[in-house]
Amino acid sequence: MEWAPLFLSFKLAFVTTFILLIISIPLGYWLANSKSKWKPILETLVSMPLVLPPTVIGFYLLVAFSPSSAFGLFFSEVIGLKILFSFTGLILASVIYSLPFMVHPIQSGLSSLPSSLREASYVLGKSKWETIWYVLLPNIKASILTGLVLSFAHTIGEFGIVLMIGGNIPGETKLASIAIYDEVEALNYAQANFYALILVIICFSILLFVYLINGGYVKRFWK
């Protein structure tokens, strides 16, 4: 049995979730607090991957980074980053594709906190960053956990974009979801079942874990 596609899928999901966490906290904070007239536009952009077919994102990435376009040529020749048919490209695509799954929980978590919490911290002389780090974020742990798990799971479940810009290269872009498709086409149902079953088991465990934690079952059990 070949483990590489599964390993690759989880590697992609870990890296993507990590990057998303870094960009979504400031983004979510800004969206939760800003009164800028640009806010609706940014909110729309963040939510676009929810409604767009993955093929739209895949298609535009393909067009933008194609070696036949000036931008694509600049990117691969001058910056030296290969986006199409590479693992780096899959990270970029997944970050775009899973962005709303991380930003939304963080944004709604922060908006639901009473403003008195922040004001109290300011009155006690804490700076903005200290307030975010020590007061606001610890109060939305559940939302952050939800964001982490949803982005992770959504990245594992990615298929359309990877099919378009991945190129099915073993060890580089052949993720578990693609490998299943590939094995079914090759009529290797046993191997396809192996990947599919492992994904079902792992995703079930991850989601169960989150619901147990967020539902407070674990706390109750330990008390």
Partner 1 sequence: MKLNLYLGLSFSLMLLYSCQSKTDLRNLRIATAASMQFPMQEIINAFEAETNIKADVILGSSGKLSTQIIEGAPFDVFVAADMDFPKKIQDAGFSKNAPKLYAKGKLVFWSNDERFNVNTILEKTPSKLKLAIANPKIAPYGKAAKEVLLHLDLWETIEKDLVFGESVAQVNQFILSKAATGGYTSLASLKAPVLKDAGEWRLVDESWYSPIMHGMLIIKNKSLKQKEAQQFYDFMFQADAQKILKNYGFECQNLEE
Interaction site with partner 1 (CB under 8 A): 18-19, 22, 26, 62, 66-68, 72, 76, 80-82, 84-88, 91, 129, 132-133, 167-172, 182, 184-187
**Residue among 153, 194, 165 at smallest CA distance from 20:** 153
Contact 175, 9 (CB under 8 A): yes
Give the shortest CB-210-to-partner 1 separation in angstroms. Answer: 24
CB nearer to partner 1: pick between 18 and 204: 18
Give the shortest CB-2-to-partner 1 separation in angstroms. Answer: 12
CB nearer to partner 1: pick between 45 and 186: 186
**Residue among 201, 10, 147, 212 at smallest CA distance from 222:** 212
Give the shortest CB-68-to-partner 1 separation in angstroms. Answer: 8
CB nearer to partner 1: pick between 159 and 213: 159
Handedness of CA 101, 150, 154, 53 (dihedral sign): negative
Cα separation of 198 and 92, whole Å? 25
Give the shortest CB-133-to-partner 1 separation in angstroms. Answer: 5
Two tokens, residue 103:
């930003």
CB nearer to partner 1: pick between 14 and 211: 14
Cα separation of 65 and 137, whole Å? 37
**Residue among 176, 173, 172 at smallest CA distance from 162:** 173
Give the shortest CB-218-to-partner 1 separation in angstroms. Answer: 29
CB nearer to partner 1: pick between 48 and 184: 184
Cα separation of 98 and 13, whole Å? 10
